[in-house]
Amino acid sequence: MAKTRSAQDRELDAMKAIIQALDGLEGESIQRVMDYVLSRLSIAAPTRQKGFSPPDLASSMPSEPVHPVAAQSIRDLREQKLPEKSSAMAALVAYYLAEIAEGDERKDVINTADIVRYFKQAGFKLSQAPAQTLPKAASAGYLDGVGSGMFKLIPAGYKLVVHGLPNTTKTTKVAAPSRKKSKTRRK
């Protein structure tokens, strides 16, 4: 038993070291590093089946929304949830496609093309670098990269959309009066 625990400890230490080494990198950079490491170690890259979700994530994410969402379109959902940042909007798109969308539109993973399409449909301002939206949402803890530029909603992103939006606890700031001195011309 002690030998097994020791091997598990070494595995956990290795995982922590990898995560620390990847800290600060984003989506595609992480993918390139992981692809290189797997290649260097002659390990075949794992393939993921559509809809694959690690057991701990699947069991922690309810299959039905706790508070049913009345939105029928991505625009309705955006108007209901009022995301302010693109990372929250990316989580909203992932949630919409996984939980609300119907038919061929429904899917568990999203990519940059989905961000462009659904931000436009929702009337949400698209950033100048849409390819960075998903990695930023992953850095914010709402999505998880699953390889090849694809991202999946994780429980924190689900919680944000279902329970955290709209953010009603936000305090509104009142603009301070301008203190500019008026310039007078001398004649």
Which conformational region is residue 82 in: left (phi greater than 0), alpha (psi within -120 to 50 degrees), or beta? left
Cα–Cα distance for residue pair 80/70, rounded to 1 Å: 9
Residues of the chain with CATH 1.10.10: 55-164
Distance CA 83, CA 166 (A): 7
Cα torsion 84, 154, 52, 31: sign: positive
Looking at residue 45, its pLDDT comes to: 66
State the first-to-last Cα distance of the chain, in angstroms, to the nearest integer.
94
Q: Which amino acid is at 10?
A: R
pTM over 0.75: no
Burial 121-150 (b: 16+ CB within 10 A, else e): ebebeeeeeeebbbbbbbbbebbbbbbebb
Strand locations in the chain, DSSP E?
109-110, 143-147, 150-153
Closest C-alpha among 88, 115, 71, 74 to residue 170: 88
CATH T-level fold of 55-164: Arc Repressor Mutant, subunit A (1.10.10)
- Specify the pLDDT at position 60: 47
Q: Which of 33, 162, 181, 10 is nearest to 91 (CA)?
A: 162
Q: Which residues of the chain have pLDDT under 70?
A: 1-5, 45-71, 170-187
Task: Tell me what pLDDT residue 185 has.
Answer: 57
Question: From CA 152, how far away is CA 70, in angstroms rounded?
Answer: 22
Sign of CA dihedral 81, 82, 84, 85: positive
Asked if 136 and 119 count as a contact pair (C-beta separation under 8 A), the reply is no
